[in-house]
Amino acid sequence: MDEQWDKVVDILVAGSGAAGLTAAITAADARLDVLVVESTAKWGGTTAISGGGLWMPVNPLMVRAGVADSREEALRYMQEAIGEAGPASSGERRRAFLDSGPEVVRLLGRLGVRWRRSPDYPDYYPDRPGGKVGRGIEVARRSTPSGWDPGIRPREPPTACPRR
């Protein structure tokens, strides 16, 4: 059976949140033909609604600003805040996150993502050993002369959940 398609691509990305757009950007950088599909009229997904902040110890923006941090402090904080949570948060995965995260930030920055620091945003438990203020980063929202990019999903105030 021969199927006909309107478009054939190397990578089809479903959704335009942070994960989907990161996949699309890196695939396009690898010279693959990419198509992002979004189920709504606005792009950004849940990431745009939530604010899209990343917890990224020892990130390049911290380093550039001269903010002291280390992999060891971040590992200690993760142990204090998360504890032994099973294989999803094993020591190996934590180290992989801390080792690859700053490289992802640099890669996406090289590909045009504009980052900004959240210098006053604390770790969830900044008073625990290894905890800090200022590890957060976020994508700088694009603005136009008339305000925020009209295509991005707006940050709307939360709606109340009905009681049952």
Domain coordinates of the chain in residue numbers?
A: 11-52, 53-147
- Secondary structure of the chain in the HEC alphabet? CCCCCCCCCCEEEECCCHHHHHHHHHHHHCCCCEEEECCCCCECHHHHHHCCCEECCCCHHHHHHCCCCCHHHHHHHHHHHHCCCCHHHCHHHHHHHHHHHHHHHHHHHHCCCCEEEECCCECCCCCCCCCCECCEEEECCCEECCEECCCECCCCCCCCCCCC
User: What is the maximum span of the chain, computed from C-alpha positions, in angstroms?
Assistant: 63
Q: What's the one-letter identity of residue 141?
A: R
Question: In the predicted model, what is the mean pLDDT of residues 95-115?
Answer: 94
pLDDT, the chain, mean: 88
34 has pLDDT over 60: yes
36 has pLDDT over 80: yes
148 has pLDDT over 70: no
The pLDDT assigned to 37 comes to 95
**If pLDDT is split at 50, 70 and 90, which confidence band does 135 have?**
very high
CA angle 66, 135, 159 (to 5 degrees): 145
The pLDDT assigned to 48 comes to 79
pLDDT tens per residue across span 38-69: 998 888 888 877 777 899 999 999 999 999 99
Q: Which tokens sit at 106? A: 């640099």
pTM for the predicted model, two decimal places: 0.77
Return all residues near 104 (Cβ < 8 A) that are at least 6 apart: 22
137 has pLDDT over 80: yes
**If pLDDT is split at 50, 70 and 90, which confidence band does 104 have?**
very high
pLDDT tens per residue across span 1-33: 688 888 999 999 999 999 999 999 999 999 999
Question: In the predicted model, what is the mean pLDDT of residues 151-160?
Answer: 60
The pLDDT assigned to 161 comes to 57
**If pLDDT is split at 50, 70 and 90, which confidence band does 109 have?**
very high
